[in-house]
Amino acid sequence: MQTSLPAYSSYMKHWGLDPAMVFLNHGSFGATPIKILELQHQVRQRMESEPVRFMVREFEPLWWEAKNKLGDFVGAKGENLVFVKNATMGVNNILHALAFEEGDEVLTTNHVYGACLNTLHQYAKLKKFKVVIADVPFPIKSKADVMEALISKVSTRTKLLLIDHITSATGLIFPVEEIVKEFEGKGIEVLVDGAHAPGFLPLSLEQLGASYYVGNCHKWICAPKGAALLYVRPDKQSKISPLQFSHVYDKPIPKEAEWSAQFFWLGTDDYSAYLCVPAAIDYMKNLMGDWDILQQHNRDVCLKARKYLASSLESSLPAPEEMIGALSNILIGPATNTNSAHFNNIHPIQQKLFENYKIEVPVFQFNQANPRDWVRIAVQAYNTYEQYVYLGNALKEIGAGL
């Protein structure tokens, strides 16, 4: 194994990542550029220099300005979306607000994010609905397999579909356009968990037509942690109120903005991450010249890297290219530690990569009926193909592979 670590790309200068680590896990928590963190510090200084002036006199127009900029980026009017702390909070908000009758069904898939699955089960207990899981195969042959699995589980009691736009564990782009059209057309509301989607791929939420959509800004937009969006289609807004009630927004305001305004002030907090979202959008856009160039670059490196890793580990590619962006899984082999499926439990292979090779990359199981070990790569501008070659060599030295 090489003694020196493979170099990051020249874009690494924009981030404060530890150069003594090979960071291949942008997908989990993102990474915020140095300049955006400096901006957040400036916003906080502005707030603390005169807290009343900032909170009472200045914050409101800044909040609307940031929200409108984010709306332009994701294809939605600013009054139809609000800031929340993270996508999981947005999912909680929707499930908390919706009314269910006993025996109603909420459909999701076996690829659902663990925190969202836990949220479903907790609200199922409180609101007496049933959680139904559609088993989408993985490895997967085509995006049609997703729709087929979902349709097979629809019943007359299906009230809501919670569907990932980009799956966390398996790195798949689900065909949400087709799914939303099918389910909303049947009168079944769709809540899209787009935790990874903003900045990962182009979005047009108004055109998508889902009842509800949540997405993080800290992942691929690279905003500071604690900034995410919740979109609610206008005809559904009367049912959705904030998780946390605080001061009533009682100033005169245009009717079309009344719903969004409920979320403006949920109590004293550090809202600086929200206000940095516009700058993060522009900063990442300008990194390579435009967003489509950056997204294509990351996808190209990911596709090349996954082919190398699959060949190196004598594995097969688990999904067609049309379902892959800047995230992808590669099969390592039979499960070696069944406890690592739980949150914050580190797989032994992941720990060896971290300690012995200075690689940060997730390793976990998928499919509890036949658990297998997978490594998930994520590609951001600072990564290089050589880093994934280094990962493949490390995995072979550890003894991973089929």
**Short-list 313, 292, 309, 388, CA closest to 25:** 388
pLDDT, tens digit, 9 for 90 and up, residues 268-286: 999 999 999 999 999 999 9
**Stated pTM of the model:** 0.96
- Rounded to whole angstroms, the Cα distance separating 185 from 343 reads 36
- Distance, first Cα to last Cα, the chain: 20
Mean pLDDT (whole number) for 145-170: 97
Domains in the chain, CATH or no CATH each: 10-24+289-398 (3.90.1150.10), 38-284 (3.40.640.10)
How far apart CA 115 and CA 215 sit, in angstroms, is 14
Compute the average pLDDT of residues 213-229: 98
| Span 304-355, pLDDT tens digits | 999 999 999 999 999 999 999 999 999 998 877 666 556 678 899 999 999 9
Comparing C-alpha atoms, which of 274, 199, 263 is closest to residue 231?
A: 263
Sequence length of the chain is 402
User: Residue 399 above 80 pLDDT?
Assistant: yes
Q: Which residue is associated with the tokens 């942690």?
A: 225
Backbone angle region of 401, left / alpha / beta, with phi > 0 → left and psi within -120 to 50 → alpha = left
For the chain, the average pLDDT equals 94
One-letter-per-residue 3-state SS of 284-334: HHHHHCCHHHHHHHHHHHHHHHHHHHHHHCCCCCCCCHHHCCCEEEEEEEE
Q: Among candidates 226, 255, 214, 252, which has minimal Cα distance to 76?
A: 214
Q: Which residues contact 307 (CB under 8 A, 6 or more apart)?
A: 317
Which residues have a Cβ under 8 Å from the Cβ of 141 and sit 6 or more positions away?
320
List, as one string, the DSSP characters of 160-217: EEEEESB-TTT--B--HHHHHHHHHHTT-EEEEE-TT-BTTB---HHHH--SEEEEES
- 231-238: average pLDDT: 97
Question: For residue 69, which amino acid is it?
Answer: K
Residue 250 φ then ψ, to 5°: -110, 10
Helix count (H) and strand count (E) of the chain? 15, 12
pLDDT in tens, 242-271: 998 887 666 677 777 889 999 998 899 999
What is the arithmetic mean of pLDDT over 386-402?
Answer: 89
